[in-house]
Amino acid sequence: MMTCFVLINVEAKKEDEVYDALVAVKEIEGIREVFGQYDLICRIEGKNLREIRKLIINQIRSVPGVITTTSLITSE
């Protein structure tokens, strides 16, 4: 299993909408609001890089209000 942290930039005043949409995604293990360069950070897990890529593209980047994502895949 691979773990990835996804840093998310959100359109101004869309933070709550994006947060609520991402909380509903069952594959997201955890999500937190952060302050600074990014607005949200979430933790996801996948069997392989292909599964993580699919989750980021189809479940996170597709949420209205998400501007950019930065993915940090962890090593074990």
Whether the predicted pLDDT of 76 surpasses 80: no
Tell me if 56 sits within 8 A of 8, measured CB to CB: no
List, in order, residues 6 or more apart from 56 with CB less than 8 Å away. Answer: 4, 6, 44, 69, 71
Please list the helix, strand and coil fractions of the chain in percent, rounded to the nearest 5, in that order: 30, 40, 35
Percent of the chain with pLDDT over 70: 99
pTM: 0.93
Domains detected in the chain: 2-73 (3.30.70.920)
pLDDT tens digits, residue range 31-66? 999 999 999 999 999 999 999 999 999 999 999 999
